[in-house]
Amino acid sequence: PILWAFISSFKTYSEINSSALSLPSSINFDNYVDAFKYAPIAKYFLNSVIIVGISVLVTVTFVAMCAYIISRFQFKMKTVIVLLISASLMLPAQAISQPLFAIFNALGIFDTKLGLIIVYSAMGIPMAFFVMTSYYKTISPALEESAYIDGATFLQTFIHIILPLAKPGLVTIALLQFINTWNEFYFALMLTSGDTARTVPIALNYYMGTFANNYSALFAAVVLTVLPTIFVFIVLQRQVMESLTAGAVKG
């Protein structure tokens, strides 16, 4: 489907109607120009970049610290915290829609980028938490003990030893958060009402009527929406594979 959409983005309207599977007669970027002309794709892209970037940063920062403490130390309420985080995975989005809508209205952050950042960061924490907790357990505690013996403080050990070793895991959760947030549609639609904070997936749905008679521009807009996730995965795939294979071989 991605390849089909990519090829169709270079075809004229008549070529798409005559044969959906044929190749374009020529390569031109008029459809991409039309995609920016008929809809504020650039504005939605900027909204997505801001919202996704900050939510990824918040999620990774919070989970990097929280998961480390949970994986390394025993303390009261640890089990309760893990259970609460686990329970959040079982809640469907529809179950918290009305409370979120009411709270955001009361706080004055409805239809704002801040509102979506809060929601996306919170949504990404549970899964990222369990991924990083498992990854931290693959790092030998002996490294931390050696650092403490050499006089390193807790923060120094965490920042200079643990975080560099946990880079593949952190990159993995950042990539997962990026993809899930970039493609998220439900909350982006429910918690926005104008162009101020709407993201790319909403743009495709909202302007479907505009593109109803111009499928070429619609395909171009779809390609523009998909490309960032593909590009980010290609750039970060090595770290993701390292994370997936961590602990598979010992010795």
pLDDT at site 251: 42
Which tens digits make up the pLDDT trace of 35-57?
Answer: 887 778 888 899 999 999 999 99
| Nearest alpha-carbon partner for 100 in 205, 186, 184 | 186
pLDDT at site 23: 85
pLDDT at site 249: 46
pLDDT at site 2: 82
Token pair belonging to 148: 């403490």
- The list of the chain residues with pLDDT below 50 reads 247-251
Token pair belonging to 104: 């955001």
Residue type, 229: T
pLDDT at site 235: 84
φ, ψ for residue 148, nearest 5 deg: -65, -40
pTM of the model: 0.86
187 CB-near residues (< 8 Å, 6+ apart)? 93, 100, 116, 119, 120, 123
